[in-house]
Amino acid sequence: MNRRKFVKNYSLIFLSSFIPKLAVGKEVKVFEITKSKREWKQILTDLEYKVMRKEGTERAYTSPLDKLFDKGIYHCKGCDLPLYSSDHKYNSGTGWPSFWKALPGAIGTKTDKKFFMVRTECHCSRCGSHLGHIFDDGPQPTGKRHCINGVSLRFKKA
């Protein structure tokens, strides 16, 4: 192999190592609202950042929203998109604010395989901030339980 050919082949291998992440990346989504890490840190507390941008989980029974049943709308703390209505909230007894459905088009989902479990992760459809997980043990009519971190939400009373 002459040197020029070698360099060409080598650079192809080098380039192709980046392609899977860009082109095939399973769950790479582009959200309408994006911010740098620094910008997120400016508007979120440490806990909010950990939950919303790093898919963390707040401690159970710590959110004042868990036992709140006033009429109103729960907005994304990252971008203010209306996500959940109090009409669909219920007391699941889990210690996290729980809803049996989201507002139309408000959330996106993906498969989360962390901690040796297969769960459905949900996030704000506009800024991608992590909200919580969706389980199949919720009340009718959907049978779904959207188990949401209260720190990801901002409640606006009707």
Write the interaction track for Zn ion spanning residues 61-100; mark x where CB under 5 A is met and - where it is not.
---------------x-xx-x-------------------
Nearer CB in complex with Zn ion: 24/28:
28
Which pair of tokens denotes residue 58?
Answer: 């707040």
Q: Of residues 104-133, which lie at the interface with Zn ion (CB under 5 A)?
A: 124, 126-127, 129
**Contact criterion met (CB below 8 Å) for 99 and 69:** no
In terms of Cα–Cα distance, which of 57, 72, 61 is closest to 152?
57
Alpha carbon distance 101, 107 (integer Å) = 10
Q: Does 44 bind Zn ion (CB under 5 A)?
A: no
Nearer CB in complex with Zn ion: 32/87:
32
CB 76 to Zn ion: min, Å? 3
Alpha carbon distance 49, 129 (integer Å) = 9
Nearer CB in complex with Zn ion: 124/148:
124
Nearer CB in complex with Zn ion: 126/144:
126
Alpha carbon 19 to its chain centroid, in Å, reads: 25
- From residue 11, how far is each of 5, 20, 110, 143 by CA, in Å? 10, 16, 34, 52
CB 14 to Zn ion: min, Å? 37
79 is annotated as an active-site residue: no
Q: List residues near Zn ion by CB under 5 A.
A: 76, 78-79, 81, 124, 126-127, 129
Q: Which residues are catalytic?
A: 147
